[in-house]
């Protein structure tokens, strides 16, 4: 890292009030990124300001409601920019990643039939496993891609399990447990070949690396909690691949 880059990151620290906390006289260190990303002052201020001035339901004919609509649309545009999405209309918000994923699995299940296969991974957070495992109650086969001893995905195992019966592969972009970064481009090539959907959980990836969903072209890319509070999440969807699901989900 160059001295200028170091200075940049040192300056950014002051944006985060939590990083100036001390515990037992020592500077606090946060090792639990996935359990709650720290929030910078401009975000804290924007949220407080919203509750001070505009707090309202949406789509009303009164000023605070119109301000709420405007804020949501501006946020949608900012998130689209952040994810390199084709446009704000491809961005959906939900309570959090887990809830969004349960809604998504329920919606996708409508177009699946017993015997269809879904592939999840042993490396993923429960938020990207539970919603798909739940579909085994309806006769879908849910298989798991193994994780290797070094905390990376077993791509040979993945390759051997993606078949013409596979309808969706749900995987993370980075593991919250090990920090391993998955080869999503390789998986995208295989899922394209099999003609199935790819769902990417970017909760742990998005705070660390730039994302361009159009380069990856998954059907759904979920992210959350970069610098927005725990519990808020958004996802980007590639319209063409998913219109029939999206209609029932969002």
Ligand X SMILES: Cc1ncc(COP(=O)(O)O)c(C=O)c1O
The residue among 117 and 225 lying less far from ligand X, judged by its C-beta, is: 225
| Nearest CA-CA partner of 129 in 176, 95, 196, 178 | 176
List 109, 201, 218, 228, residue binding ligand X (CB under 6 A): 201
188 binds ligand X (CB under 6 A): no
Contact 213, 83 (CB under 8 A): yes
Taking the C-alpha atoms of residue 215 and residue 212, their distance in angstroms, rounded to an integer, is 5
Pick from 129, 204, 237, 245 the residue near ligand X by CB under 6 A: 204
Residue 245 sits in the site that holds ligand X (CB under 6 A): no
Residues 22-41 that bind ligand X (CB under 6 A): 34-35
* Closer residue to ligand X in complex, CB, 116/226: 226
98 part of the interface to ligand X, by CB under 6 A? yes
Q: Assess contact for 149 and 142: CB atoms under 8 A.
A: no
223 in contact with ligand X (CB under 6 A): no
Closer CB to ligand X, 56 or 227, in the complex: 227
CB of 106 to ligand X, least distance (A): 16
**Which parts of 99-158 interact with ligand X (CB under 6 A)?**
125, 127-128
Q: Which stretch binds ligand X (CB under 6 A): 20-28, 62-70, 76-84, 196-204?
A: 196-204
CB of 209 to ligand X, least distance (A): 13
Question: Considering the rule CB under 6 A, would residue 97 count as an interface residue with ligand X?
Answer: yes
Contacts of 234 (CB under 8 A, 6+ apart): 79, 91, 92, 93, 94, 222, 223, 224
Query: How, if at all, do strands 233-237 and 220-224 pair?
Result: antiparallel
Residue 150 Cβ, how far from ligand X at the closest point, in Å?
18
CB proximity list for 56: less than 8 A, separation 6 or greater: 62, 64, 65, 67, 68
Restricted to residues 153-182, the positions that interact with ligand X (CB under 6 A) are: 172, 176
| Range in contact with ligand X (rule: CB under 6 A) among 14-22, 79-87, 145-153, 199-207 | 199-207
How big is the site for ligand X, counted in residues (CB under 6 A)? 16
Instruction: Using CB positions, name the residue nearest to ligand X.
Output: 34
- Positions touching ligand X (CB under 6 A) are 34-35, 96-98, 125, 127-128, 172, 176, 201, 203-204, 224-225, 233
């Amino acid at each position: 890292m160059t001295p200028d880059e170091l200075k940049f990151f040192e300056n950014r620290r002051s944006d985060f009030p939590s990083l100036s906390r001390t515990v037992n006289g020592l500077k606090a260190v946060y090792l639990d990124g996935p359990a709650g990303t720290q929030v910078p002052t401009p975000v804290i201020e924007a949220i407080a300001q919203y509750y001070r001035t505009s707090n309202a339901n949406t789509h009303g004919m009164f000023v605070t409601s119109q301000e709420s609509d405007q804020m949501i649309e501006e946020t949608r545009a900012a998130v689209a920019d952040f994810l390199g999405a084709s446009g704000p209309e491809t961005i959906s918000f939900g309570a959090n990643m887990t809830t969004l994923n349960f809604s998504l699995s329920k919606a996708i299940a409508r177009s699946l039939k017993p015997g269809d296969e879904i592939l999840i991974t042993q490396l993923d957070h429960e938020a990207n496993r539970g919603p798909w495992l739940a579909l085994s109650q309806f006769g879908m086969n849910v298989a798991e891609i193994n994780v290797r001893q070094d905390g990376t995905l077993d791509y040979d195992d993945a390759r051997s399990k993606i078949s013409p019966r596979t309808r969706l592969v749900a995987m993370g972009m980075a593991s919250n447990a090990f920090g391993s970064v998955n080869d999503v481009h390789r998986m995208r090539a295989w899922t394209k070949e099999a003609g199935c959907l790819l769902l990417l959980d970017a909760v742990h990836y998005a705070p660390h690396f730039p994302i361009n969903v159009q380069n990856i072209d998954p059907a759904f890319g979920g992210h959350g909690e970069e610098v927005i509070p725990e519990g808020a999440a958004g996802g980007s969807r590639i319209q063409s691949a998913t219109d029939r699901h999206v209609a029932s989900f969002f």
